[in-house]
């Protein structure tokens, strides 16, 4: 049985949820970073396709200052779009970071994000500003020209200890040293915030 208006209502609800997820991720300050809003935004935007996702991001920027860095949105884009054939996303020019980008960008292709078992973890706590920052529209325009939207949703899996272990291994390969105690604590808090989402890898 088809009830008039039900399909339209479902579409409107789905759009409202997607817009809400986008807003939560895009407005998130770096200092308050949590993986969950990024996961939810990616999994809401990916199903609407490349043109639909870009249209919703454009709509968000029309109602916000498009010249602002929009740190949360910049981080979302690095997860929402696949790593390009060059082996790494273009660097974000938002200021100095600790740790800095690795010597070989391909070692951490989404820096400052590192994706471990579909959990997007942030390696930095903020930016040390020096000069003008680059608006998020620069990265967005580049992705609009050549970016490929991820095809599959994020499915966080594994265990907190396993994710931490993998991150340390990738970090050692990228920098030739261990993560600092402060960074390890920062990453641990992020993982704890999505512990309820973790499970064994499911077929896609």
Question: Among 43, 21, 17, 35, which residue's Cα sits nearest to residue 75?
Answer: 35
Which alpha helices (DSSP H) does 63-123 contain, by range? Answer: 71-80
At residue 96, the pLDDT reads 76
Element (H, E) at 113: strand 113-116
Token code pair at residue 81: 């779009």
In a domain, 203, yes or no: no
Q: Which residues of 10-30 are buried (b: 16+ CB within 10 A; e: fewer)?
A: eeeeeeeebbebbbbbbebeb
In a domain, 65, yes or no: yes
In a domain, 202, yes or no: no
Task: Calculate the CA 96 to chain-centre distance.
Answer: 19
In a domain, 69, yes or no: yes
Count: domains in the chain: 1
In a domain, 137, yes or no: yes
The residue segments making up the domain with residue 66 are 6-197
Q: For residue range 27-50, list pLDDT tens digits in order.
A: 999 999 999 999 999 999 999 999
In a domain, 27, yes or no: yes
In a domain, 148, yes or no: yes
Question: Among 147, 131, 24, 132, which residue's Cα sits nearest to residue 83?
Answer: 147
**Dist CA 60 CA 53 (whole Å):** 11
What pTM was estimated for this model as a whole?
0.87
In a domain, 204, yes or no: no
Token code pair at residue 143: 């992705």
At residue 183, the pLDDT reads 96
Which parts of the chain sit beneath pLDDT 50? 1-10, 13, 201-204
At residue 97, the pLDDT reads 84
């Amino acid at each position: 049985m088809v009830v008039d208006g039900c399909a339209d209502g479902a579409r409107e609800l789905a759009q409202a949820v997607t817009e809400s997820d986008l807003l939560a991720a895009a407005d998130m300050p770096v200092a308050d970073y949590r993986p969950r809003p990024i996961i939810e935004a990616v999994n809401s935007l990916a199903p609407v396709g490349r043109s639909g996702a870009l249209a919703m991001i454009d709509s968000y920027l029309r109602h916000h200052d498009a010249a602002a860095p929009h740190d949360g949105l910049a981080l979302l884009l690095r997860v929402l779009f696949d790593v390009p054939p060059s082996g790494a996303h273009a660097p974000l020019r938002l200021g100095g970071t600790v740790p800095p980008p690795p010597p070989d960008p391909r070692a951490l292709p989404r820096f400052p994000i590192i994706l471990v078992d579909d959990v997007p973890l942030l390696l930095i706590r903020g930016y040390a500003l020096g000069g003008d920052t680059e608006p998020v529209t620069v990265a967005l325009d580049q992705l609009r020209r050549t970016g490929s939207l991820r095809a599959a949703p994020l499915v966080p899996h594994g265990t907190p200890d396993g994710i931490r272990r993998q991150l340390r291994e990738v970090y050692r390969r990228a920098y030739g040293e261990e993560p600092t105690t402060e960074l390890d604590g920062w990453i641990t808090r992020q993982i704890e915030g999505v512990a309820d989402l973790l499970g064994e890898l499911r077929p896609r």
